[in-house]
Structure 1
Amino acid sequence: MSVLGIDQITYVADDLPTCKRFFADWGLALASESADALVFESLNGCRVVVARLGLPGLPPGPEDGPTLCEVVWGVESDADLDRYAAAIADQPGFVDTQADGARRIGCTDPNGVAVRLQRTRKHAVQIECGPSNTWNDKLRVNQPSPIYDRATPIEVGHVVFFASDVNATSAFYRNKLGFVASDSYPNRGAFLRCAPEGGHHDIFLLQLPSGKRGLNHVAFTVRDIHEVFGGGLHFSRCGWETQLGPGRHPISSAYFWYFKNPAGGLIEYYADEDQLTGDWQPREFEPGPTVFAEWAVDGGLDGHTRRQKNADAPQGKFLTEKK
């Protein structure tokens, strides 16, 4: 029994028209729309709900204003739901209800985030990715790497929250939901994955000296490094503001690009994260800029010039051509 990954997230926001344009530019498909909520889907059916801030019936978020108020995790079977229900029945805010015709159980984690579980609604997808050639392995022969005009995210890969008590919140996910520790900043940050075998982390919890609670970012998995770049360049052309990227994380090895999000926190394209098994031994790190990013472009790349923001546009037919 293990959680399979994120099935749905729910934002609360105060500007739904802007959010509609934002997530459409991001590459999600609009599945439904009303005056109070937008529902988007990724390639594999992972849902992103953006609801009107203050809409009755929604769980409270971990902070005021636009934020992420709910994370729905997918499981394989009804038997899994029964076992998880028994594990979390003693937790604050426990619910066992129906949502869109299906059973959903949940509670509130120690950080104030609504945690829900349901039988997964995601579906398998077969997509072409750009294999990389290394000195030892030539995986791409007589075939150029892809160039993407924009990104089409596969799923919500992970969520990151500021936690007021990282140890208590991490213990909840490990002891109640069976998550596994991948790496950590001792007493400051916890990278957790749903199961022993999987991507580097499905949730990251970060404790600030201030004890602030809230959303840091939501990360969307894309095919490969080329889609991180293609998606980021397209999003920049649409006028959305980069927070940091493109760049590369040393801890998970993933390539990233972060943007500011009108629905709360940041939003990230990422690809090529480490894949772990039960043999992995968690590491401990001291927080620092070079631990967060091996390298990163401050302010992003301009979608038109393909250069760093505010750099002069190329004048000739080649970037290296001089007047």
Structure 2
Amino acid sequence: MTIDVHKDLHSEQGSRPGEHPGRSRNPLIKVRDLAWLEFEKPDLARAEAFATAFGFRTVLRTATGLQLRGGDPGSPCVLIRRGPRSRFAGLAFAAQDRADVDRIAAATGVPTRALPQTIGGIAVDLTDPSGIPVRVVADTHEMSALPGQQPRTFNFGHDVHRANSTQRPLREPARVQRLGHVVLQSTSYIRTLNWYLDHFGLIVSDFMYYEGQRDRGPTMSFIRCDRGSTPTDHHTLALALGPSNRYVHSAFQVCDLDAIAAGGEYLREIGYHRSWGIGRHIQGSQLFDYWRDPDGFLVEHFADGDMFDSTLEPGWAPFTASGLAQWGPPATKDFLGIAPGRDSARELRSMLAAVRDDSNEFDITRLRGLLKVARS
């Protein structure tokens, strides 16, 4: 049985007849979760300094790479290799078991390979239609849980749960618990979306569309893993139509709002740049706080996100800047990618190139819709 999204669950609108169903009828496998993200950076010491301040723990440090983890059990959630320039190098999904890795390898004609001994297990290395490397992994080493911050006990209203004690959260790094999601942009949005649904059994929680262009289909999707009756994060992957194929941001869970706020004060005081926050999202409901690392990558602390099982059908909503949060400061130019600078100039060049290229989905009408988002 599926649940109607019109019952005030997560979206003001449901789908219309003939719109994208948000799931594959016969996916190759159903992945369990996002395992890790991979980056290349030229300055590993600088990368590790920010990672420590953001709340990661270093698992492995060599002359050529870093492995970073959160406090939850599992594999490292961020892998950084030394490279000539800073770039996003791909993502890895955790399969249910080794048989699923073998199954997708056979279906795609790509052989499996052993992962480095420090991580263990096997992988099959794929590439999505946007050119992003995507691994599917299994049997990786399982690290034990680490001690972490605990959610605060609150006196809300007339309910007294804390007596003769005070609240004094330290201004210290928020301890990352786990990797939550990654957001990508694609010039071939529908083809890339279908690839993820068909290969990995992901299902869409929410679609967004440019105002006045719903008849042309969605332009962003928040996508979760399908674990049947077990609730999972509202989105493990989010995918947006845009003028270039690129990483947008990634998000890492911490225990509560105090961890977000006090950890943010710590980052601010030592000179790092807040991009946008603190606030609460609409799609996914997460409490959020976005930061730029020294290489310009956007990363998010989040807490209290929605968890959906497989019964919920996709919601539909217009894509607007003001619709990105229930409360909090307005979305910044930095977060929206329109602040003056090298990155916005690169994206502008991508817009001009994309609308001249008939092979992608980003045409002049879509450009008008995207520009309207930033003004809405």
Shorter-chain TM-score range: 0.7 to 0.9
Q: Which residue of 1 aligns with 2:134?
A: 115
Q: Which residue of 1 aligns with 2:305?
A: 273
Q: Which residue of 2 aligns with 1:194?
A: 225
Deviation at 1:157, TM superposition (A): 0.6
1:180 paired to 2:208: no
Q: Which residue of 2 aligns with 1:51?
A: 81
1-side partners of 2:141 and 2:299: how far apart?
A: 23
Q: Residue type matched to 1:192 in 2?
A: I
State the SS of the aligned residue for 1:285. strand
Q: Which residue of 1 aligns with 2:371?
A: none
Determine which structure has the larger strand proportion and give its number: 1
State the SS of the aligned residue for 1:288. coil
1:69 is aligned, of 84, 89, 93, to 89
2:116 is aligned, of 100, 119, 136, to 100
- The C-alpha deviation readout for 1:117-174, integer Å capped at 9, x for no partner, is 11254557486323667679x6945476672533110111100111111111111111
2-side partners of 1:51 and 1:6: how far apart?
A: 19
**Higher mean C-alpha deviation, range 36-45 or range 115-124:** 115-124
Question: Structure 1 length as normaliser, TM-score?
Answer: 0.79
User: Contact conserved, 1:255 with 1:270, CA < 8 A, in 2?
Assistant: yes
State the SS of the aligned residue for 2:131. coil
1:40 paired to 2:40: no
1:82 paired to 2:102: yes
Deviation at 1:75, TM superposition (A): 2.3
Deviation at 1:261, TM superposition (A): 2.0
Deviation at 1:234, TM superposition (A): 1.3
Percentage identity across paired residues of the two chains: 23
State the SS of the aligned residue for 2:187. coil
User: Contact conserved, 1:4 with 1:73, CA < 8 A, in 2?
Assistant: yes
Going from structure 1 to structure 2, the CA distance change for 1:34 and 1:123 (only over 3 Å counts) comes to: closer
Q: Which residue of 2 aligns with 1:60?
A: none
Q: Which residue of 2 aligns with 1:58?
A: none
Going from structure 1 to structure 2, the CA distance change for 1:237 and 1:279 (only over 3 Å counts) comes to: same
Going from structure 1 to structure 2, the CA distance change for 1:2 and 1:25 (only over 3 Å counts) comes to: same
2-side partners of 1:279 and 1:132: how far apart?
A: 33
Q: Which residue of 1 aligns with 2:177?
A: 154
Going from structure 1 to structure 2, the CA distance change for 1:139 and 1:69 (only over 3 Å counts) comes to: farther
Question: Structure 2 length as normaliser, TM-score?
Answer: 0.69
Q: Which residue of 1 aligns with 2:188?
A: 165
1-side partners of 2:155 and 2:316: how far apart?
A: 31
User: Contact conserved, 1:164 with 1:213, CA < 8 A, in 2?
Assistant: yes
2-side partners of 1:144 and 1:75: how far apart?
A: 44
Aligned residues: 283
State the SS of the aligned residue for 1:168. helix
1-side partners of 2:143 and 2:205: how far apart?
A: 26
User: Contact conserved, 2:279 with 2:329, CA < 8 A, in 1?
Assistant: yes
Q: Residue type matched to 1:199 in 2?
A: D
Q: Which residue of 2 aligns with 1:308?
A: none
1:205 paired to 2:227: no
Going from structure 1 to structure 2, the CA distance change for 1:235 and 1:205 (only over 3 Å counts) comes to: same
- The C-alpha deviation readout for 1:241-292, integer Å capped at 9, x for no partner, is 0111111111111011101123452010001111111221211111112211
- The C-alpha deviation readout for 1:68-121, integer Å capped at 9, x for no partner, is 21211112321222223234x15xxx4521112421112001111111111254
Q: Which runs of 5+ in 2 are unaligned?
A: 1-28, 210-217, 333-376
- Computed over aligned residues only, the root mean square deviation of the Cα atoms, in angstroms, reads 2.6
State the SS of the aligned residue for 1:82. helix
Going from structure 1 to structure 2, the CA distance change for 1:135 and 1:274 (only over 3 Å counts) comes to: farther
Q: Which residue of 2 aligns with 1:6?
A: 34
User: Contact conserved, 1:13 with 1:264, CA < 8 A, in 2?
Assistant: no
User: Contact conserved, 1:179 with 1:192, CA < 8 A, in 2?
Assistant: yes
Deviation at 1:299, TM superposition (A): 9.6
Q: Residue type matched to 1:183 in 2?
A: D
The 5-angstrom pairing of residues 251-266 of structure 1 reads 251-266=283-298
User: Contact conserved, 2:52 with 2:173, CA < 8 A, in 1?
Assistant: no
Deviation at 1:15, TM superposition (A): 2.4
Q: Which runs of 5+ in 1 are unaligned?
A: 55-64, 301-323
Determine which structure has the larger helix proportion and give its number: 2
* Stretches (4+) displaced over 3 A: 120-128, 130-136, 138-146, 297-300
State the SS of the aligned residue for 1:171. helix
